[in-house]
Amino acid sequence: MNLKGKFLLLGILFCNLWSFGQTSKELAPLIQNVYDRQRISLNGYWNYTVDPLETGYYDYRRRPNPDGFFKDHQVDNINTYKEYDFDTSPVMPIPGDWNTFSDNLFLYEGTVWFRQQFLYTPKSDNKVYLYFGASNYETRVYLNGERVGMHEGGYTPFNFDVTDFVKSGNNKLIVKVDNKRRADAVPTNNFDWFNYGGITRDVMLVEVPQTFIQSYKVQLKKGTSNILEVKAQMSEKMAGQSVYIEIPELKIKQTITTDASGLATTEVKANPALWSPQSPKLYAVKIVSGKDAVNDEIGFRTIETRGREILLNGKSIFLKGISIHEEAAFRNGRIFSEDEDLTLLNWAKELGCNYVRLAHYPHNEQMVRLAEKMGLLVWSEIPVYWTIHWEKDYVYANALNQLDEMIERDQNRANVFVWSIANETPHGDARDKFLSSLAKYAREKDDTRLISMAMERNDKSKEVLSIKDNMSNYVDIVSVNQYVGWYDGTNEKLDRVRWEVDYDKPLMISEFGGEAVAGYHGDASQIWTEEYQAELYRKTLNMVDERMGYVAGISPWILKDFRSSRRLLPNIQDGFNRKGIISDRGDRKQAFFILQEWFKKK
């Protein structure tokens, strides 16, 4: 993260400090590839206490209470009272979301306290980090009665150095999770998916040597197909540290040294077989420094644009995609397991996809890695969604931090080809400054991928559709969400419209679609029916073929019906956005087969 970004991030952390006098620990730099580290899972059944008034955090004057629930005092409640008790509280599986765990909490938005106890034997020569895959939305963490730190954002990983907090024997980890929507949050209090609260991804202790490999990037150098660029960032900012990299299949063995910032870099000539949807080749990579070693499987590919084309490994590719929310099939809660990831990805493969848009936030790490092995390209996005408080520096700092965490986690995944910085945002100077700064940061941090965002139409007339957005100057792909036939007229309009797009950049349709209830049938002109949705798909795909010029790819909205509190129509929506081409119960709608057949011809 650049200096400006760090100052802004410090600002947001400062705004969220506890006002009582405990030592504050900021977020530690993210440890990359934690699943290959020495780790202890803290997943399991955690005690929980629902606290809608935040009684465990504030006193009766609404001041932060230094003796809050995180102290977990043990009293007999006979001579000394306490108005909470984790020991007798119910338990909930972690990772999980409280909404689908308990009917009583289905619509709850607020604070829930969680406690997990664990035995630990410290290793004197190791550092210990506490890692969360994600927790929605604001997370405050305490270990053995002491504040560890906080994180804001519901879909990216974070970790804390708890070496000085963890102790030999029994430890008490207490976590305050608050998913209340806020106008100054990212996303804001207004979004079109379900606000699942809880510790929604893995929690673990990660043990590393005192000096360790913090992060690394092994990718083809931009503009080449035979030079690997290697970067390894050590946790100790010190020159002269040795870093050894080995890629056995490419016969690469090389030792490099760090500069004063602890960064080691080199370039290595190689001729790897390139990763593609047809051949998702991955190479075993090992990086060693001192007592630390990390292993990964990494693919190599090039991604660039040429005029209106997207080039994968130097060849034009049409992106046959579908948008996906991180919501489990059938049970319709936040995804907790690789099996649930695989269900959605296998549906995308059945459809004929070579690409998935993981919207509108970073999905879990396993989802991205599984897609990589299956040959599915990934569009990865942060939840800068609809109307953000563009003028506030701490909101920008929050968005920047989420962008940084997304890139840091997945910068070695060959299938991630786009960092997306926003979705359907209103035009304006403050917004342009906000988003262009994010685009610039993403490009500086990772120049091996493309930048995009989902834009809205800005039509030249009722029947001449177009896009005019200042952000087109900052992105590599001009992507548009267009809903002719649903929010804009009925299906017959799709026969009349044409497109004029003036940018000499690839054009993608990042969204289109309409709602249909699986099993609800009628005439093709009757909305909410499978027939109407199928006709919308037929006409939209015909429009793409005949009246849009060159389109580089599509990702219709959406693979599966998903929960959304905005969708209120009884007996039709019932709390679900019904734009899925598969129902929430796994039924393929007619539109699924229309799209599947079209993809076969591409």
Task: Find tokens 């795909």 and name the residue.
Answer: 541
Residue range(s) occupied by CATH 3.20.20.80 in the chain? 304-516+525-560
Q: Give the end-to-end CA distance of the chain in Å, rounded to a whole number.
A: 40
pLDDT less than 70: residues of the chain: 1-25
Quote the pLDDT of residue 186.
98
CA distances from 421 to 354, 455, 521 (A): 22, 11, 38
Task: With H, G, I as helix, E, B as strand and everything else as coil, classify residue 518.
Answer: coil
CATH of domain 3-209: 2.60.120.260
Give the residue ranges of DSSP H helices in 452-574: 530-547
Question: Apex CA 310: angle with CA 456 and CA 297, to 5°?
Answer: 110
* Model pLDDT, residue 14: 41
**CA nearest neighbour of 543 among 580, 503, 512:** 512
In whole angstroms, how far apart are CA 408 and each of 31, 413, 416, 509, 543? 9, 11, 12, 27, 39
* Start and end residues for every CATH 2.60.120.260 domain found in the chain: 3-209
Distances (CA, A) of 2 to 153, 412, 445, 564: 20, 20, 9, 36
- pLDDT tens digits, residue range 478-491? 999 999 999 999 99
pLDDT, tens digit, 9 for 90 and up, residues 299-311? 999 999 999 999 9
| Overall fold of domain 213-301 | Immunoglobulin-like (2.60.40)
Question: What would be the CATH architecture of the domain defined by 304-516+525-560?
Answer: Alpha-Beta Barrel (3.20)
Distance CA 120, CA 298 (A): 33
| Mutual angle of helices 365-374 and 338-351, in 10-degree steps | 40
Could you tell me which residues come within 8 angstroms of residue 106 by beta carbon, excluding any fewer than 6 positions away? 99, 100
Q: What pLDDT does 10 receive?
A: 45
* Residue ranges, CATH 2.60.40.10, the chain: 213-301
Contact 272, 261 (CB under 8 A): no
* Token duo for residue 35: 């699943």
Helical (H) or strand (E) element with 174: strand 169-178
Percent helix, strand, coil in the chain (nearest 5)? 20, 30, 45
532-538-544-545 Cα dihedral, nearest 10 degrees: -160
Residue 471: left if φ>0, alpha if ψ -120 to 50, beta else—which one? alpha
User: What pLDDT does 405 receive?
Assistant: 98
d(CA 170, CA 186): 36
